[in-house]
Amino acid sequence: MSNTEISVLENITQILGYRPDFFGCDLRDMKQLEEIFEKYDFDGVVHFAGLKSPRESCDRANEYFDNNITWSLKLFACMEKYGVMKIIFSSSAAIYSTQGMHKKGLDENADIWNTNHPYGSTKLILENILWDLAKFSWFQVISFRYFNPIWAHTSWLLWENPVWIPNNLFPYIMKVASGDLDYISVFGNDYNTHDGTGIRDYIDVNDLVRGHILWYEYFDTIGQNVACFEVFNLWTWLWISVIEAITSVSNVLWKDISYVFEDRRLGDLAEVYCNPMRAKNILWWTSKVTLDESIKNTLYYHKISA
Ligand code: UDP
C-alpha cells in the first residue's frame, strides 16, 4: 500500500460485485500472516508484492533486498507450514543479462547471471530460492518474467495511478498529456539503438492478468504433489523506443507531447526484449491488446479526450 490508496478496494468491489477479504498485512508480521493462513484453506499464492524501480534500487539497495527478499522468505515459510505449495511469482525480465541480446529476443534459457541493478538481483535471488523450494520442499512454482506492464483494467475502474511522481515512462507521459506536468525527460539519446533512445516491450496489464489466470489450468495438468518450477516470458514481442512511445501517445491524441533529452538514467539498459514463444506453446498465451487500444483506454482514465 506504499504507493496506492485504500479507495482502490472500493473499485475492485464494484468490478467483482462483492467485497473481497482484505488484510493490510505487512509480510514482516509473521503472526498476522499465520492468522490469515490459519483462517483460509488457500489453494495457492500469487505474489506480486515488492518494490519495483530499477533506478530507485540503485540508491536504496539494502531496502530493496530487505523488502523484496527477506519478507518474501516469511511468506514462503508460512506457505510451507500450512501446506500451500502453489505459487505464482512476479519476476522480471530485469534478471536477464542482455549480452546475448539478438533480434529474436531473449528466451527463458538466456543468461541471468549479470543483473544491472539491485532490483533485478532481488528477482533473480528469489527465483533461485523458489527453484530450491521446488527441488527440496515440493513447491509448485511458476515465475512470470515480464517487463513493462502498462495501462488499466477494461472496467475503467482501475488504472495505473501512483501516489508519487511516476518513475515509469507511460504514467509520466500521461501526466504530461493531461497537463499536470510540462514535459518528459528522455533519459539518454546516445544508446546503440535505431533512434538512440531505450527500447522496451510494453505489455497491457489485461494481457498479463490472463496469463496469471492460465496458470491455474496449467497446474491442473501437472497434478497435485508434483514439484515444478517453470518460467515464462510474458511479452508482446512488439518493442518500441522511448521516442516511439511518446509519438504513439501524440498520434492518438493529435497533440504534441513535449520532451527534453537528458543523461542516461543509472541502472538503465539500452534494450531489453524477450521471446514469448514458450508461453504461447505451453500456456496458449499471447498478448492481444494493441498499444493503440491501451493508449486510448488510458487516456479515458486520465479524462483526456483523444
Ligand atoms: N524513461 C524516460 N523518461 C522517464 C521514464 C522512463 O526516458 O521519465 C525511459 C527509461 O530510460 C527506459 C524506458 O523509458 O528506457 C522505460 O523506463 P521505465 O521506468 O518505464 O521502465 P524500466 O524499463 O526502467 O523498468
Ligand 1 atom 6, closest CA: 169
Mutate to test the pocket of ligand 1, among 187, 189, 199, 240 (most ligand atoms within 8 A of CB): 187
Q: Which atom of ligand 1 is nearest to the CA of 245?
A: 14
CA torsion sign for 65, 69, 71, 73 is negative
Q: Is 187 near ligand 1, meaning CB less than 6 Å away?
A: yes
Q: Is the pLDDT of residue 244 over 90?
A: yes
Q: Which residues of 213-228 are buried (b: 16+ CB within 10 A; e: fewer)?
A: ebbeebbeeeeeeeeb
Backbone angles phi, psi at 37, to 5 degrees: -65, -30
Residues in the chain: 306
Rounded to whole angstroms, the Cα distance separating 28 from 67 reads 9
Give the pLDDT confidence of 47-68 residue by residue, as tens digits: 999 998 888 999 999 999 999 9
The confidence band for 11, taking pLDDT boundaries of 50, 70 and 90, is very high
Share in percent of the chain as helix, strand, coil (round to 5): 40, 15, 40
**Is the separation of the CB atoms in 140 and 134 below 8 Å?**
yes
**Residue 180 CA, ligand 1 centroid: distance in Å:** 19
Give the pLDDT confidence of 249-263 residue by residue, as tens digits: 998 888 899 999 999
List C-alpha distances in Å: 136 to 88, 140, 144, 280: 18, 11, 21, 29
Among 40, 64, 96, 119, which one carries the catalytic annotation? 119
Closest C-alpha among 220, 67, 88, 76 to residue 136: 76
- Concerning whether 273 is annotated as a catalytic residue, the answer is no
What is the H or E stretch that residue 213 is in? helix 205-222
Give the pLDDT confidence of 134-180 residue by residue, as tens digits: 999 999 999 999 878 887 777 778 877 777 778 889 889 988 988 88
- Looking at residue 174, its amino acid is M
Reading the block at residue 56, the C-alpha cell is 530507485
Q: Which atom of ligand 1 is nearest to the CA of 52?
A: 25
**Residue 272 CA, ligand 1 centroid: distance in Å:** 12
Mean pLDDT of the chain: 89
Look up the pTM and report it: 0.88
Rounded to whole angstroms, the Cα distance separating 257 from 306 reads 13
Residue 289 makes CB contacts below 8 A (sequence gap 6+) with 151, 204, 206, 207
The string of DSSP codes covering 105-145 is -B-TTS--S--SSHHHHHHHHHHHHHHHHHHHH--EEEEEE
**Residue 174 CA, ligand 1 centroid: distance in Å:** 13
